[in-house]
Amino acid sequence: MTAQQIALIKLGLDIAEAAGQGVAQAMEAKTLVERMVTEDRDPSPEEWEALNATTDTLHQAIQGA
């Protein structure tokens, strides 16, 4: 398993946790990840940047910041 695959798995877990708490941004990230899985490809640098920003937002929302 590559570091990129592990990062995507972690992102999926973060999205699931945020979705479980009703965080709207989780659905946007879920849609992006699902599209990449369907297209059988890795995220582009721009997509990684967007996913990282979304992950930061989700972590803040989960932690109540």
Distance CA 20, CA 39 (A): 26
Band (pLDDT 50/70/90 cuts) for residue 54 is confident
pLDDT on residue 18 = 77
pLDDT on residue 38 = 93
Instruction: Please say if the pLDDT value at position 8 is more than 60.
Output: yes
pLDDT in tens, 25-52: 778 888 888 898 899 998 899 988 988 8
Band (pLDDT 50/70/90 cuts) for residue 65 is low
Range of the structural domain that residue 50 is part of = 3-63
- CA nearest to 37, candidates 9, 62, 60, 13: 9
**Is-above-0.75 flag for pTM?**
no
The answer to whether the Cα torsion of 36, 37, 41, 42 is positive or negative is: positive
Domain count of the chain?
1
